[in-house]
Amino acid sequence: MAKPTSLQTNIARLSDLKDKVGHVPFIRRNSFVYGSLSLIVIYALFLLPSKGSPETIDLGRIVLFCLLLLIWAFIIFTDELKSEKLKTVVVFSVFIIAAWLYYRYSTARWGEMGYLFFNLEMVQKAWPTLVEGFWTTLLLAVCAAIMSTIIGLLLAIFRSFDNAVLNFFIIAYVDFFRAMPIIVLMMLIYYALPFMGIRLSAIVSGILALGLNSSAYVSEIFRAGFLSIKKGQIEASRALGLNPIQTMRFVILPQAFRVVIPPLVGNYVASAKDTALASSISIIELLKAGLSQKSLLANPSPLIFVTALYLVMFVPLTRFSGYLEKRMKESQRQVRL
Amino acid sequence: MNDTGTMIEVVDLHKRFKDLHVLKGISTSVKQSEVVAVMGPSGSGKSTFLRCMNRLEEPSSGHIYIEGIDIMAPYIDINRVRTEIGMVFQSFNLFPHLTSIENIKLAPISVRKISDKEATDRGMALLDKVGLADKANVYPEQLSGGQQQRVAIARALAMQPQIMFFDEPTSALDPEMIGEVLDVMRNMAREGMTMMVVSHEMGFIKEAADRILFLVDGLIVEDGTPDQIFNYSKNERTLEFLSKII
């Protein structure tokens, strides 16, 4: 067998350890691991004080238990030969046991908390309103995202023409809509525009305001994406005879796409959370639905459930963007120089 | 204005970058099928000179005539002019999101508007010519430097230009790959392509160039055949430069 280099561990197998030291140390043996585990379990079942806030003496028993558990976990963790899988299981178990201990001994009023914040009966009552709010929020978020992407991309493309006049207007647009509070924008569109003869529904006003605000950020994201492309690419494209539009379409955009996905998705998520502001122009979106149900039922559970619904909306989006990025990685490559 | 056979005519070309006066009055001409090498010390303006001629850099003043057409005129469609000039860069500049054949096909299809099939056939023939027919569906990342540069040459040739510019085509290559690129360039010269090459490859220049323009500090200090420049030059700057590199 080849002599292991200094980069390799000298102890590849338990038998190596045995050969090296002469015997397997007691604490490394599997028998120790399982034996001590069963002792800990017995301790937990019989020797720990019962539920409820512990007396001072009992506190000692709990602390001792924690110490033993931690030492046991530490022994396993520092063992080179134990598998990563086992160590992961041990770490998770320690966290779960810690949570269980907290649950058992803290003076939290778990029952009451459950009734208030995790009350399924209340959630059922609130359900229809919450669902309506969910779809409204989704509609607002999706429409605003589409609108902001189209406008933002166009702005970034126009900006790339480097025309002084065009740049002035674009920069003014971006500065204005980034600074403008969304609520004010929504109110202006919904309440003030009718005086100029433009009467838009609440939903459309909401989408418009969200879209305009988000488009300013999107245009900066695309602009940064364009700047990230090496100048030589554009030169080669122009030298071949492609005009600026063709260069943008065939050379710049495909390459920029991969770069802009993370910040773009971040922008969509932030914008989707801003939909909550639409309640200021009397749109029943998800958050407002949750708040109103909370008042109606005098129980905050619907609000907690709203959080779950927001997660349902966002996590697939962020996972999808991760998937997109991964797929881009396979089909696009950077030239190494 | 247009002598038969004069491909490029440059008259008193100046280029300034803010305070830096890079080209201080270049005047020269290039005939059809001529292979002109541009040499000179670093910073003399060789690359800038080349890039001015297809307006990748905008000249500050002067006149440039490509095939008799004044390319500085306001009504000129510079994209049309650029289709007549193929350019090969020091850093290859292949499009990383496209395969070799897609890189080559892109301009003929978008600019010359030929069919996909015809562009692919033409592209494959060019890849074959540069010796890379088997790398048609490979991405630039997977190619060596020499291979990338040859694909870049094929990409430029796909537009069937009248003139080819080379801006230090082998300067970014490992020594063992320089030969394969120079071979392709030698063949092009032999087939009668009008070429302007900025390079330090003395061997190639001596063998393939019809003329050498020696540039120092933004001016042409010598203009002659390789024999004249390398063997009979009396110019102090030329001799100084040559002594450093031979």
The residue extents of the domains of chain A are: 14-108, 120-331
Amino acid code (one letter) for B191:
E
Sort out which chain B residues have CB atoms less than 8 A from A252's CB and list them: none
B106–A contact, CB cutoff 8 A: yes
3-state helix, strand, coil in chain B (%, to 5): 40, 25, 35
Tens-digit pLDDT profile for residues A252-279? 999 998 889 889 988 998 898 899 888 8
- CA distances in angstroms from A183 to A170, A177, A192, A322, B54, listed in the order given: 22, 12, 13, 31, 52
CA gap A120, A31 in Å, rounded = 46
The set of residues, in sequence order, having a beta carbon less than 8 Å from that of A14 and lying 6+ positions away, is A24, A28, A81
Q: The dihedral of CA A32, A35, A41, A43: what is its sign?
A: negative
Q: Evaluate if residue A286 carries a pLDDT over 70.
A: yes
Q: The dihedral of CA B91, B95, B101, B104: what is its sign?
A: negative
Count of H-run helices and E-run strands, chain B: 9, 10
Question: In the beta sheet, which residues pair with residue B30?
Answer: B8
For A258, the closest chain B residue by CA position comes to B97
B159–A contact, CB cutoff 8 A: yes
**Which tokens in the block code for residue A143?**
């429409």
- What is the predicted pLDDT for the residue at A261? 87
pLDDT band at A13 (very low <50, low <70, confident <90, very high): low
Residue in the block written with tokens 């976990």? A73
For B89, the closest chain A residue by CA position comes to A236
**Which tokens in the block code for residue A233?**
């690419």
B107–A contact, CB cutoff 8 A: yes
Computed over every residue of chain B, the mean pLDDT equals: 91
- What is the predicted pLDDT for the residue at A16? 61
Tens-digit pLDDT profile for residues B21-72? 999 999 999 999 999 999 998 888 999 999 999 999 999 999 999 988 899 9
Question: Considering only the top CATH level, what class is B6-245?
Answer: alpha beta
- Print burial letters for A277-295: b (CB count within 10 Å at least 16), e (below 16): bbbbbebbbbbbbbbbbbe
CB B221 within 8 Å of CB B235: yes
Q: How many CB atoms lie within 10 A of CB A258?
A: 19
The mean pLDDT value for A187-214 works out to 92
The set of residues, in sequence order, having a beta carbon less than 8 Å from that of A102 and lying 6+ positions away, is none
The mean pLDDT value for A187-199 works out to 90
Given its phi and psi angles, is residue B235 left (phi above 0), alpha (psi -120 to 50 degrees) or beta?
beta
CB B223 within 8 Å of CB B28: yes
B48–A contact, CB cutoff 8 A: no
Q: Evaluate if residue B2 carries a pLDDT over 50.
A: no
Q: Evaluate if residue A3 carries a pLDDT over 70.
A: no
The set of residues, in sequence order, having a beta carbon less than 8 Å from that of A337 and lying 6+ positions away, is B91, B92, B172
Amino acid code (one letter) for B133:
A
Question: Considering only the top CATH level, what class is A120-331?
Answer: mainly alpha
Contacting B with CB below 8 Å, chain A residues are 230, 232-233, 235-243, 246, 250-251, 254-255, 331-337
Amino acid code (one letter) for A145:
A
Residue in the block written with tokens 């994201």? A221
- Print burial letters for B28-54: b (CB count within 10 Å at least 16), e (below 16): bebebebbbbbbbeeebbbbbbbbbbb
The ranges assigned to domains in chain B are 6-245
Given its phi and psi angles, is residue B139 left (phi above 0), alpha (psi -120 to 50 degrees) or beta?
beta
The mean pLDDT value for A81-108 works out to 81
pTM: 0.76
Q: Do the Cβ atoms of A240 and B148 come within 8 Å?
A: no
Q: How many CB atoms lie within 10 A of CB B219?
A: 16
Mutation test of the interface with chain B: which of A240, A243, A329, A332, choosing the one with the most B Cβ atoms within 10 A?
A: A240
Percent of chain A with pLDDT over 70: 86
CA gap A137, A125 in Å, rounded = 20
Sort out which chain A residues have CB atoms less than 8 A from B106's CB and list them: 240, 242, 250
Bridge-based pairing state of the strands B163-167 and B85-88 = parallel
Tens-digit pLDDT profile for residues A43-73? 877 766 666 666 677 777 788 888 888 888 8
Given its phi and psi angles, is residue B20 left (phi above 0), alpha (psi -120 to 50 degrees) or beta?
beta
How far off is chain B from A41, nearest CA to CA, in Å? 57
CA gap B52, B45 in Å, rounded = 10
The mean pLDDT value for B144-148 works out to 93
Nearest to A239 among B82, B141, B142 (CB): B82
Q: Do the Cβ atoms of A242 and B80 come within 8 Å?
A: no
CA gap B182, B189 in Å, rounded = 10
For B52, the closest chain A residue by CA position comes to A239
Q: Do the Cβ atoms of A238 and B139 come within 8 Å?
A: no
> Smallest Cα–Cα separation from A280: which of A187, A192, A211?
A187
> Smallest Cα–Cα separation from B209: which of B222, B233, B193, B226?
B226
Give the N- to C-terminal CA distance of chain A in Å, as an integer: 42
